Structure 1
Amino acid sequence: MAKPRPEEFDKQKVVAENRRARYDYFIEDKYEAGIILTGTEVKSLRFGSGTIAESYAEVKDDEVWLINANIPEWSHGNRHNHTPTRPRKLLLKRREINKFYGAVMRKGMTIVPLSIYFNSKGKAKLELALAKGKKAPDKRATEKDRDWKRQQGRLMRDHG
């Protein structure tokens, strides 16, 4: 029998987070993926630098690739340093790749990276989400709900 998927992933050290994704997209499902990195990329991530704000993932030839993620060159690297925005292959199970492919092709969804982190074993992982884009009225409604929840918390704190 297959192991059930955990609700939350084992995040020890979050390196980069895409906070804008939750504002721009409806998040449907979350997945954890490994990333194929070179040595200088891992060192740069351990140092705490890297951004995924403008990045996305796509399925090409039965593989998932992280596009446009910026991991800056490591400061103590030599001529074998990596290219900062190169496409990086993601490690996922075949069933998950097929699920991504079907959702993108049939339902018009997007594969959005939410965060890069190190787990308890010291491996760099990427949290991916299947997401549907929000329109402007949806964004306004989300903002309105968030403001109301904040105001509700203040009222409960002051009068509760």
Structure 2
Amino acid sequence: MARPKHSTFDKQKTVAENRRARYDYAIGDIYEAGIVLTGTEVKSLRSGEGSITESYAEVNDNGVWLINSNIPEFSHGNRFNHEPKRPRKLLLNEREINKFHGAVARQGMTLVPLSIYFNGRGRAKVELALAKGKKAQDKRETIKERDWKREQGRLLRDRG
């Protein structure tokens, strides 16, 4: 069964998803951010290529940057092709940037990208989450809870 979509974001086409993030981190607030891309990067994403499994976001003095995301070179891009793992700037409000800066600096939280998608207007967006890293015990609890929910569904389905 697919997980329900987040109610506030209009996702038309999901390109890349970081499924491991929900296992490794306790997800807090979720935000939508625009991303600054070149032409060949957009073409690669539209063809369904791209990965954010090992990426994270970093807050600098001049904004928020998506680090270590991989968008492979476009096959027909010739000399105008992009660097696959270059840092990409994320477009956020000043208030959101200040909130991220405070959470990362004071509370020890991490900015984790959950997915890259195209919205209804055809713009590439990144779903960012303020997250706290889980310890091994917390991960075991998550596995137990997920298994119990699955077993509970089986029992209810068999009885009803």
* TM more than 0.5: yes
Q: Which residue of 2 aligns with 1:106?
A: 106
| Offset from partner CA, 1:23-69 (integer Å, 9 cap, x none) | 00000100000000000000000000000000000011140000000
Partner of 1:52, secondary structure, is coil
Partner of 2:117, secondary structure, is strand
Q: Which residue of 2 aligns with 1:88?
A: 88
Q: Which residue of 2 aligns with 1:155?
A: 155
Q: Which residue of 2 aligns with 1:3?
A: none
| Length, aligned pairs only | 155
Spell out structure 1 runs of 4+ moving beyond 6 A.
none
- The amino acid that maps onto 2:88 is R
Separation (CA, whole Å) in 1 of partners of 2:61 and 2:112: 19
Q: Which residue of 2 aligns with 1:21?
A: 21
Separation (CA, whole Å) in 1 of partners of 2:80 and 2:40: 8
Partner of 2:44, secondary structure, is helix
Separation (CA, whole Å) in 2 of partners of 1:95 and 1:143: 36
Q: Which residue of 1 aligns with 2:50?
A: 50
Greater CA deviation, 60-69 or 112-121? 60-69
Gaps of 5+ in 2: 1-5
Partner of 1:89, secondary structure, is strand
RMSD over aligned Cα atoms: 0.9
Percent sequence identity over aligned pairs: 76
Compute the displacement of 1:71 (Å). 0.2
Partner of 1:27, secondary structure, is strand
Q: Which residue of 1 aligns with 2:3?
A: none
The answer to whether the 8 A contact 1:113-1:128 is kept is: yes
Partner of 1:37, secondary structure, is coil
Separation (CA, whole Å) in 1 of partners of 2:10 and 2:26: 23
Q: Which residue of 2 aligns with 1:142?
A: 142
TM-score, L = length of structure 1: 0.95
Separation (CA, whole Å) in 2 of partners of 1:69 and 1:85: 6
TM-score, L = length of structure 2: 0.95
